[in-house]
Amino acid sequence: MSNSGSSGDASFTGFRVDVLACKVPMNVQKDVMVETRDGVRVAMDIYRPEGPGPFPTLYAVSPYNKDTIGLPPHGVFRWREAGNIGRWVEQGYAFVHADTRGTGASEGEWLACSEEEQTDMYDTIEWIAAQSWSTGKVGMIGESYYAYPQWLAAATNPPHLACIAPYDGLVDLYRDVVYHGGLCSAGFIAWWSTNTRALTLLERGDGPHPNNGGGDIVGDWLRNPTMNDFWRVRSAFDKFKDIKTPFYSIANWTAVGIHLRGNLLAYEQIDAPKKLMVAGGNNHHSPIEVYHSDEVHTELTRWYDYWLKGIDTGIMDEAPVKIWVNNEGWREEQEWPLARVEYKSLYLSSAKAGAVNSLNDGSLSWEAPASDDATRLDYPHKEWGGWPGFGSAAMTPNGMDNSAKVLTFTSAPLEEDMEITGPINLKLWISSTETDADIIAKVYEVPQQAAPGPLRPMTRGWLKASHRALDPALSLPGRPFHPHDKRELLEPKKIYPVEVEVWPTSQLLKKGSRIRLDLANADSPVFDMPFNHHYGCKQGTDWYHHDAEHPSQMLLPVVPRG
């Protein structure tokens, strides 16, 4: 299966595909209005093979205006996230593409992932199953926003929902995308909400539903900075116990900061017939390219044929987990997380690594510290050029460099290959002159022969120190779980232990390469857009303590080799 990345333009496979092209006659019904339990009508387009059927049905729903699916390929990749409609019709499936309430041609008010949106899916699934052209078996399909509703719909247990396959599907709107570690993901929610509202406004004005897109979604999100019932209603994570529908959770290691965490947590914690696949790539556009690959389509065909057509494709007899190990390739596993992982600590130190031109050039050691030591981060830093929000980026002859403006801690060259697969726990001891502190962590492999230019992090993690409280029932040695239900401010200059959830990765680190940890309290608008966080007005000093009494460390999930 291809795991090559892309430049992110409209030239690669994920953008090029014409999802309405069909090699067989296709019956199309536009704007079929289905009334839900509260009287609001949801609009859907129905594509099916010619003839009376009956056909098994794939159902995709989002706020992205179904009428944009036929527009020429463009850089707004969500237009291809519903899936290849024509190809599924060729294979004997009906395909229903719907606008969520309050978007596109649907009635009502758009309140993303609301309880009403969830019951709408129950009602429309049951409506589909009752049609004369339907076999009564419905599966859900799609990527990103098309994936997240699949978890929510499954939790309502529609009798005729036979399976789902959330590709790139977050499960926790608060933790996975809007408030990473308690930090507001301002860049993403501004970019996403603006683009999504623009798509739904195509039906405003002279259209039949002038209130479309009118909900104050971003305002609601900003007015709820801690976990509460507003988020729990919209969280599939809080409904895992209700999900019994067979699912194929498909993720991509590059989807850090939006989907990856959810796909993995769902597989780990939901008790239902299930499979997991995690692919790789080079950037945030890689998932859509992999999604439209022949290999993934073939895998999904085997999944849907098994559950919707009753064909024994053998898919449930194979290993339940398949992961792409970066620098190595595909591997089958029997569980997630991997039971054979051995957690090993790399300790932060002020000793010069001689590895990078950064604010401190600190080191990582396999030995625990024996002396008193701490590394300070002043902000705004004099090296930031007077613009704190643009802090962590600098121009070099080889392009932009993110390391010169942040704290770095780098290991010695590895003496042998080492695989890390799973989540990472960054256990820090911190103090601050302020009552709160933002921690933004990035983890890199630095190859022995690194190419010119900036490195791409393997993974990232975030934590607002006032959200440091842990849920012991849900925390694992390698993955802290924060309830985020209240703020606990810092006492200035007092030392506190904090655990940062660094999202999972899978990487074969080559002999001679180094492991590097970057720490900052601001994102780079160059490297981190649109997944950058609100900076605000910050001025002060944070200390990262790494002495015998306060051994700050990065707990790595090491997979034994050989």
What CATH number does residue 347 fall under?
2.60.120.260
Domain count, the chain: 2
129 in the same domain as 191: yes
**More confident of the two residues 21 and 132:** 132
Instruction: Please give the average per-residue pLDDT across 170-197, as a whole number.
Output: 90
For residues 19 and 58, state if they share a domain.
Answer: yes
Shared domain for 462 and 495, answered yes or no, is: yes
CB of 368 closer than 8 Å to CB of 346? no
With 80 as the cut, is the pLDDT of residue 7 above it? no
Q: What angle do CA 18, 86, 70 make, to 5 degrees?
A: 45
The 10 Å Cβ neighbour count of residue 361 is: 18
Say how far apart CA 129 and CA 394 lie, in whole Å: 57
376 and 291, same structural domain? Answer: no
The verdict on pTM exceeding 0.85 is yes
Q: How far is CA 493 from CA 376, 407, 428, 470, 490, in A?
A: 12, 19, 15, 22, 8
The pLDDT of residue 160 is 99
The whole-number pLDDT of residue 383 equals 64
Residue 4 maps to a domain: no
198, 109: one domain: yes
Rounded average pLDDT over 289-294: 84
- Identify the domain boundary among 304, 333, 362: 333
CA dihedral of residues 539, 532, 441, 393 (deg, nearest 10): -70
With contact defined as beta carbons under 8 Å apart, do 143 and 297 qualify? no
Residue indicated by tokens 């949106």: 117
Q: Are residues 329 and 377 in the same domain?
A: no
Domain's final residue, options 315, 333, 351: 333
**Does a structural domain hold residue 177?**
yes
Same domain, 168 and 288: yes
> Which pLDDT score is estimated for 200?
66
Closest CA relative to residue 64, chosen from 91, 34, 99: 99
Whether residue 276 sits in one domain with residue 386 = no
Q: Are residues 31 and 130 part of one domain? A: yes
pLDDT tier, 450 (very low <50, low <70, confident <90, very high otherwise): confident
Angstrom CA distances, 379 to 387, 433, 491, 535, 537, stand at 10, 11, 18, 11, 10
Q: Which domain holds residue 128?
A: 13-333
pLDDT band at 92 (very low <50, low <70, confident <90, very high): very high
Q: What is the pLDDT of residue 193?
A: 81
Token pair, residue 165, equals 């396959």
Does 7 reside within a domain? no
Domain identity same for 508 and 379 = yes
Among 306, 333, 360, the domain-final residue is 333
Q: Of 511, 327, 500, 341, nearest to 426 (Cα)?
A: 500
Residue 8 maps to a domain: no
In a domain, 437, yes or no: yes
CA distances from 280 to 251, 263, 291, 467 (A): 9, 14, 11, 31
113-140 confidence digits (pLDDT tens): 999 999 999 999 999 999 999 999 999 9
